[in-house]
Amino acid sequence: MPTTPIKRLLFAQGGRCFFCNDLLSAAEVSVEHLVATANGGGNSDENCVVCCRTLNRLLGRMSLKEKLRVVLNQKGQFKCPNSGVNRKSAGHYHVMVSPTIASEEQLAQVLADLERRRTARPRTVKTLSSTINVLFKKQLSESEIASLLDQLQATGVISVSGTKVSYTHAPSGA
């Protein structure tokens, strides 16, 4: 087992930065105390990680809470395991956290929009997807848009053949 703290940590992390996962060169590696020593953090491996020197410098004496925020701000993919059921009441904090399955309400909005478009309805999967995206002010995830398309097909509103979309019901008034 490697003996110096930096070698132990490098070994444990596969030679990669704890935060960005890049391979660390000898010049770049530094030991980051998760709870800063200035805040009472210890030198044990428990409290230490190796990471890029530049990030270590940036994190400096931040509290663990502030560090978490810095790290999470860089994580585009992180999602809490919300079912999406309580999304409405969650307020603006969860605007960017999207459930995978589109709601009935969203489906109704899409149907109303298509109704308004009458003969100007999108004719390809691509344009329909971007129409839906714009309708929801680009707040939907790709999986939600895919889910809406699935539901439109499942309810028989559209049928998809290759990249083409056709509408089962003739537009009213056309």
Interface residues toward Zn ion, by CB under 5 A = 17, 19-20, 52
CA–CA dist 77, 152 (Å, integer): 27
Place of tokens 């585009």: 76
Q: Which residue lies nearer to Zn ion by CB, 19 or 148?
A: 19
CA distances from 12 to 16, 45, 46 (A): 9, 10, 12
CB of 25 to Zn ion, least distance (A): 11
Residue 53 Cβ vs Zn ion, minimum distance, rounded to whole Å: 9
Q: How far is the CB of 79 from Zn ion (least distance, A)?
A: 22
Q: How far apart are CA 153 and CA 123, in angstroms?
A: 14
Specify the residue, 59 or 128, whose C-beta has the smaller distance to Zn ion. 59
Residue written as tokens 């060169």? Answer: 25
CB of 12 to Zn ion, least distance (A): 15
Position with the least CB separation from Zn ion:
17
Which of 57, 169 has the CB closer to Zn ion?
57
Nearer to Zn ion, 72 or 170 (CB): 72
The per-residue DSSP string of 67-92 comes to HHHHHHHT-SS------STTTGGGGG
